Amino acid sequence: MFLMKGYTLREAAEALGVSIVTVRRYIKSGKLKASLVPSKFGDSYIIDDLPLLTKPLSDNTLSTQPIINRIEQLSQEVGYWKAKAEFLQERLLLLEAPKQTPKQRWWQRLFRPWQRIDKATPVTGAK
């Protein structure tokens, strides 16, 4: 086997601090220059030169701020909906709670007013 000059995908990924898949993406997009070299298990990429990293290779830093703002907005909305769900759950528990009054039969509710009248006015002897 001959001595290869340059970096393998694994070495480049470790040097850049990214995954091997990301290095492949950088090669396909043209951010890294590499050449295909025949090897024991098929063709493999050899990266000739790694750039000095003063900034990341991805240009997505400007487009992340709107996403971060949206995430913050959605987290606030989630907090609002959590509070609303807790409030509605408490109201539901109050509605489902058993009533404190004992259950009466229909005829007890019907004749109850007359029972009060009878107790209020004592009956005196017959005429």
Residue 7 per-residue DSSP state: B
Residues of the chain where predicted confidence (pLDDT) is lower than 70: 1-4, 52-62, 100-102, 112-127
What are the φ/ψ torsions at residue 37 (nearest 5 degrees)?
Answer: -125, 135
pLDDT in tens, 59-96: 555 677 788 888 889 999 999 999 999 999 999 988 88
Going from N- to C-terminal start, the domains of the chain cover 9-47
Residues 6 or more apart from 61 whose CB is under 8 A from it?
55
CA 76, CA 89: separation in Å to the nearest integer? 20
Residues 6 or more apart from 20 whose CB is under 8 A from it?
9, 10, 13
- Entry pTM: 0.40
